Amino acid sequence: MTPDEGLKRMIAMAGRGITEGAEDVRFVLDKLTAMQKQRTSPVMAALDLGKVVAIGHSAGAASIARACQLDARFKACVDLDGGMVPVSALPDFGDGATMKQPLLFLEAYHDEAHMFGTHEQHVAYFEKQESQLKQCPAGSFDVVLHSSGMVHGSFSDDGLLDSRSEAGRAIAVHNLELIERYIRAFLAKSLHGDENTLLDNPAKISEATIKAYGQ
């Protein structure tokens, strides 16, 4: 199998997983909507399904992004380090589907030496990423985090579980808190119209690079 054939096979497999994941996410929203209409419980009645946010990490981020491309019922999308290097930042199934709601593309900084693929593929990837993000609705942001120790696993509790020192745990906690601050800022802005968030003050935290799209 040639490298190109291997990449095509990987893309096909990933595509099937993304499709299934997106269907699962939309199925859950379908069920919640039906349960609310049936007034199954006070909890269901209290849910505000007009402010549903899809959020996912890594492969899960690709699935929720695809769900948001297909379903405008999701009012915001939070993609946590879900860029599919060297293919595309957001799912691309050739159907022209783009994000239907504001997107927070929150990613760890990865230098080229730690990215899968060739330099030429990386150049093409970032060109496509820019093109995809430019098609996102107003209120979308790409936030790149480059704090010490920030890696793909920082968006989960991997850093805490893997750390064998107090210093390592402190770094993991700091990075989790940084991630959470930007998610909260995005939700405050996209769901509640807050115009004075971290996303509106890009110089406030030196560990993040922020770029707004669709504005």
Phi, psi of 19 (to 5 degrees): -60, -45
Residues ≥6 apart with Cβ < 8 Å to 210: 141, 142, 143, 199, 202
pLDDT at residue 17 tops 60: yes
Put residue 88 in one of left, alpha, beta given phi > 0 → left and psi -120 to 50 → alpha.
beta
Q: What percent of the chain has pLDDT above 90? A: 73
Q: What percent of the chain has pLDDT above 70? A: 93
Total of domains in the chain: 1
Cα–Cα distance measured from residue 206 to residue 138, given in angstroms and rounded to the nearest whole number = 24
pLDDT of 20: 96
pLDDT at residue 3 tops 60: no
What is the token pair recorded at 163? 């750390």
Report the CATH number at residue 41: 3.40.50.1820
Range of the domain at 54: 3-213
pLDDT at residue 6 tops 80: no
Q: State the pTM of this model.
A: 0.92
pLDDT of 7: 56
